[in-house]
Amino acid sequence: MGQIYIPPRAAINGYGRIMVSSKLPADFIDIVGQKVGDVVLFDNGTDELYEQGRTILPRHYFIFVGTKDGELQYKPYEYNQYRIVVSTYSDVIHSIDSIG
């Protein structure tokens, strides 16, 4: 049987803009412990890579390194529902901070 549909959560940022995200950080827990370069974007994914067991992100999603080796990196102020903000240490993803 199929999974129950969970509608996206809507939130309002400090400027009054509505932010909607259909994914949660827990949805991307499988990329923790992998190198940033080993995670494949949807556009670069092939059936060959999928059969090899490589991690391919969903369409439009991309990884943004928010904290690199304990140093906070520049993060754009604009909300992007497809941005996966991660913390890395030695180019290995340590945790997922947020989506957007």
Report DSSP letters for 30-85, one per residue.
Answer: GGTTSBGGGSBPGGG--HHHHHTT--BPPTT-EEEEEEETTEEPP--SS--TTEEE
Beta bridge partners of 85: 64, 98
pLDDT of 94 reads 92
Q: The tokens of 30 are what?
A: 């499988």
Tell the residue number behind the tokens 């890579």, with chain if given: 49
* pLDDT of 47 above 80: yes
The three-point CA angle 29-58-25 to 5° equals 30
**0.85 exceeded by pTM:** no
